[in-house]
Amino acid sequence: MPSNATLLFEPEHQSWLRTQALEQYAFFKKGLMPDGRFAVLDYDGTPLTSDLQELHTTTRMVHSYALGRPLGAGGAAEVIDRGMSYLWTHHRDTDHGGYLWGITSDGIGDDRKLAYGHAFVLLAASSAKIAGHPDADRLLDDVWQVLVERYWEEDHGLFADEFNRDWSPMSTYRGMNANMHSVEALLTAYEATRERDFLDRAGRILDFFVYQTAPQHGWRLPEHYTETWQVDPDYDGNPMFRPGGTTPGHSFELSRLMLQYWDLLGRPDGDHVAVARRLLDQALNDAWHAELGGFVYTLNFDGSWRRADRYWWPVTEAIGTLAGFQKLAPSTEDDAWYRKLWDHAKAHLIDPENGGWFPELDETNQPTGHQFEGKPDIYHSVQAAVLPLSTRLSRIAEDLS
């Protein structure tokens, strides 16, 4: 039995995590609009005026509230229902198949077909199925067919990235981010269905990034690739979704997903835990801002800081990953990091007055909006509270009631 000296396992902390999760569910439910879409919220919870509903917003709300339902989150069933309906009736492209990135009140606002977005549709459908939603199988089957037929590149064991609405090529870009979130979705789909194909494809993606690529780059993860899956070191695109260099926050995520994959495999002998640990430790050591706290957003390939902006989501992902390792083998080092991250979050990121987390901090640790307007979504921050509540590395929804 883990020692109560470890913060993660202290009853008071577990109670606080549950309260923190429920407060977030209450705050973000304010984004549910009468027309069924989900608005991004200002700091005080007021819906912002943007009319564009992006696919990752819809899907992340479904997934997050599916996790919240066994915790007793108020209104979770309604959020899941609305999100599932909006995905099927608005984002789904009935003319060409697949799912559209952006919808407005007038129709299509952004008609790109992104693997990143489709991965989140699979995640939403799978989480909704685990939560018992009656339309989950319909959505899961539909998006899985699209992912296999349009995006999966069998020769590489990876997903391509982007197409125009009619499935004509948009670019030759290939990226880690869409594939990392595909692993997340595939593992959840396996948990929902027990269909081995989902687990096997997740393993192929992990093999490329964790076993083939990371060791060649100092256990950092290059984000951007050419059409033949060669690292593209000069690429620098969208400052949020495709920044140049490496992103330590994604190392935290992929480390946690590696533990989940290993657990779902039945915890076989091998080095799964060791390589997940290498990813975590490298990112912790590279990216922690010793003076201000938090993690810098991107690194150069030698580990030096590239963009020192500090966002909320790498902190939340590191918390979830550290919780996973402590569930396996509590240590004073991991406990110290876990405490440090929660101390930083409580001091600067969690909004005690209105709810939710501030997404970005300036050089004085005050909330700022260079990259984001308002509080973008619940997905990252609520998982920082929910994942440590479960005693498991996988199938956590079964452990939350």
Q: How many CB atoms lie within 10 A of CB 362?
A: 13
Beta-carbon contacts of 90 under 8 Å, excluding residues fewer than 6 positions away, are: 36, 37, 53, 100, 103
Residue 344 designated active-site: no
State the catalytic residue, choosing from 91, 118, 181, 380: 380
What's the Cα-to-Cα distance from 106 to each of 31, 51, 123, 285, rounded to whole Å? 19, 9, 27, 47
d(CA 392, CA 381): 19
Residue 133 designated active-site: no
Q: Is 239 left (phi over 0), alpha (psi -120 to 50) or beta?
A: alpha
Asked whether the beta carbons of 61 and 377 are under 8 A apart, the reply is yes
d(CA 276, CA 77): 34
Asked whether the beta carbons of 382 and 64 are under 8 A apart, the reply is yes
What's the Cα-to-Cα distance from 35 to each of 31, 310, 363, rounded to whole Å? 11, 34, 39
State the catalytic residue, choosing from 250, 272, 344, 348: 250
Q: How many CB atoms lie within 10 A of CB 386?
A: 25
Question: Which of the 8 DSSP states describes residue 38?
Answer: B
Cα Rg for the chain, rounded, in angstroms? 20
DSSP E strands in 112-164: the ranges are 113-114, 152-153, 158-159, 162-163
Our CA angle for 128, 134, 136, nearest 5°, is 40
- Three-state secondary-structure class, residue 3: coil
Q: Is 10 exposed, middle or buried (0-12, 13-18, 19+ CB in 10 A)?
A: middle
What's the Cα-to-Cα distance from 73 to each of 68, 232, 360, rounded to whole Å? 5, 43, 26
Catalytic residues: 250, 380
